[in-house]
Amino acid sequence: MILITGGAGFIGSNFVLDWLANPAAEGIINLDKLTYAGNLANLESVKDDPRHVFIHGDIGDKELVGKLLKQYQPRAIINFAAESHVDRSIHGPAEFIDTNVLGTFNLLECAREYWGALAEAEKESFRFHHVSTDEVYGSLSATDPAFTESNPYEPNSPYSASKAASDHLVRAWFHTYHFPVVTTNCSNNYGPYHFPEKLIPLVILNALNSKPLPIYGDGQQIRDWLYVGDHCSAIREVLAKGKLGETYNIGGWNEKANIEVVKTICSILDELQPRSDGKSYAEQITFVKDRPGHDRRYAIDASKVERELGWRPAQTFETGIRKTVQWYLDNPDWIKGVVSGSYRDWLHKQYN
């Protein structure tokens, strides 16, 4: 089996679904705290699959993690669990330190103890895969080359600083204890089951609900978008073939300014579900106050993972964003479930 953490969140649940879509795949132990971002509805289609065992709990719980490792004897751990939203980290950074730094520390320590007691062959093949972000590298100017794995860490938000700290711990556990780790640093993901606090699902839902589409500052900030299914395939590749102690940048070769992303979503919606008044959804675009310390540009150079492991994204932004908009149109029940109290409270705090 493999143990994954944070598997009820956006990327983790996509990973579980993709993994189990392979009939030959091993089982998954899925440890998730079910914060506001964790949603068991994402895993509805595998709820009767005996290969999926869901455990409600915290990666920072030493007793629980130790017990799970002993009981299920996983051959690998993939750590998705995190607080992941930059704006929330600005309002309240404490949870980011608790989960992203202290939680990862606890997971590493429990895993190291478990690994240390394994027989030689299992010890040799064991992997700890840490899922991280390109945001640890800081912000690029318009003309800087894209981030490579040797860029210095220059995190600017409480979120990226907490992820940078966790990456450093993972690195140190390899160098100090020879604990078998790999780390992936990925660009912005989008796709099904994305919680609507993030730009793309927020814009789709607000558009359909006749609400403003909030663009921070001038909307010229650039992100490098990757379809979530491509991130999942990259993780499977790195888990299987990645070199111990190495980091791999994962990206979609899709740099887009925020305003361009929002206009693209509007034009796809204009085509798939036109407004009743015949006007474009782009009429709802509203420029709002910028995010404090807003990073201007992220861009990933993903040539190492392609050169060494042969991975490339299957989706372009154009194909991935169309699939994503269609998924939100096709899944009104999921949306209804997610538009809960905690989500509404957040929107009120952030945008009013």
Q: Which residues are catalytic?
A: 134-135, 159
Nearest to ligand NAD of 31, 261 (CB atom): 31
Binding site for ligand TYD (CB under 6 A): 86, 188, 198-199, 202, 214-216, 221, 223, 258, 291
**What is the closest distance, in whole angstroms, from the C-beta atom of residue 306 to ligand NAD in the complex?**
18
Q: Where are the alpha helices (DSSP H) in 184-331?
A: 199-208, 228-241, 258-272, 303-309, 317-330
Q: Does 229 sit near ligand NAD (CB under 6 A)?
A: no
The residue (of 236 and 256) whose beta carbon lies closer to ligand TYD is 256
Label residues 268-291 b or e (16+ Cβ within 10 Å = b). Answer: bbbeeeebeeeebbbebbeeeeee
Q: Which is nearer to ligand NAD, 190 or 281 (CB)?
A: 190
d(CA 259, CA 330): 25
Q: What's the gap between Cα 161 and its chain centre?
A: 16
Per CB under 6 A, 133 contacts ligand NAD: yes
Which residue of 69, 101, 103, 219 would you call a contact of ligand NAD, by CB under 6 A?
103
Interface residue with ligand NAD, options 19, 29, 33, 324 (CB under 6 A): 33
| Structure-token pair, residue 168 | 């450093």
Task: Tell me how far apart the alpha carbons of residues 294 and 290 are, in angstroms, rounded to a whole number.
Answer: 7
CA distance 309 to 139: 27
| Among 129, 182, 130, residue whose Cα is nearest residue 304 | 182
Q: Which tokens is 179 given? A: 């604990």
Tokens coding 283: 């009429």
Please identify, among the stretches 79-87, 109-117, 275-283, 314-322, the one whose residues bind ligand NAD according to the rule CB under 6 A.
Answer: 79-87
Minimum CB distance to ligand NAD, residue 95 (Å): 8
Q: Does 281 bind ligand NAD (CB under 6 A)?
A: no
Short-list 61, 176, 56, 53, CA closest to 112: 176
Residue 80 binds which of ligand NAD, ligand TYD, none (CB < 5-8 A, kind-dependent)? ligand NAD
CB of 124 to ligand NAD, least distance (A): 27
Q: Which is nearer to ligand NAD, 17 or 281 (CB)?
A: 17
Q: Which residue has the tokens 């860029």?
A: 151
User: Of residues 2, 3, 4, 12, which one binds ligand NAD by CB under 6 A?
Assistant: 12
Q: Which does residue 214 bind out of ligand NAD, ligand TYD, none, counting CB within 5 to 8 angstroms by kind?
A: ligand TYD
Verify binding: residue 78, ligand NAD, rule CB under 6 A. Answer: no
Structure tokens at 127: 């992997």
46-65 residues in contact with ligand NAD (CB under 6 A) are: 58-60
Asked if residue 317 lies in contact with residue 252, where contact means CB atoms within 8 angstroms, the answer is yes
Residues 2, 8, 165, 235: which binds ligand NAD (CB under 6 A)? 8
The DSSP bridge pattern shows strands 255-257 and 222-224 to be antiparallel
Q: Residue 80 or residue 281: which is nearer to ligand NAD going by CB?
A: 80
Nearest-approach distance from CB 21 to ligand TYD, in angstroms: 26
From residue 19, how far is each of 11, 12, 46, 156, 274 by CA, in Å?
12, 10, 11, 33, 36
Q: In the bound complex, what is the minimum distance in angstroms from residue 79's beta carbon to ligand NAD?
A: 7
CB of residue 147 vs ligand TYD: minimum separation in angstroms? Answer: 14
Q: How far is CA 224 from CA 14, 139, 301, 312, 317, in A?
A: 19, 12, 10, 14, 9
Q: Which amino acid is at 249?
A: N
Which CB sits closer to ligand NAD, 85 or 263?
85
Residues 151-170 vs ligand NAD: string with x where CB under 6 A? ------------x-------
The DSSP bridge partners found for residue 196 are none
**Contact residues: ligand NAD, CB under 6 A:** 5-6, 8-12, 31-35, 37-38, 58-60, 80-82, 84, 99, 103, 131, 133, 163, 186, 188-189, 195
